[in-house]
Amino acid sequence: MSSPNLELVCWNVHGLNSPAKKKALREFTDTTHPAIFCIQETKLACIDDFTVMQCLGPAYDGFAYLPAIETRGGILVAWNS
């Protein structure tokens, strides 16, 4: 069975501090390969290249984020060129 060609995925993760959630995102990304990935409610104040690589893999070479404020919010948008 082939995976669908997804252009955009939005996922409300309710926090990315858990290694299990990072692993679930990575597994989903590895099977679906969306062009753009929007992750809501990251609850992270800072997101760097390493975090994007952990969650989404090396295919995503661009990203932007809005930091969480205390324990609320946070958005990550990543794309592959």
Q: Could you give the CA distance from residue 69 to residue 71 in angstroms, rounded to a whole number?
A: 6
11, 22 contact by CB (below 8 A): no
Residue 35's alpha-carbon distances to 6, 10, 32, 45, in angstroms, are 7, 11, 9, 24
Is 12 known as a binding-site position? Answer: yes
Is 41 known as a binding-site position? Answer: yes
Specify binding-site residues for Mg(2+): 12, 41
Specify binding-site residues: 12, 41
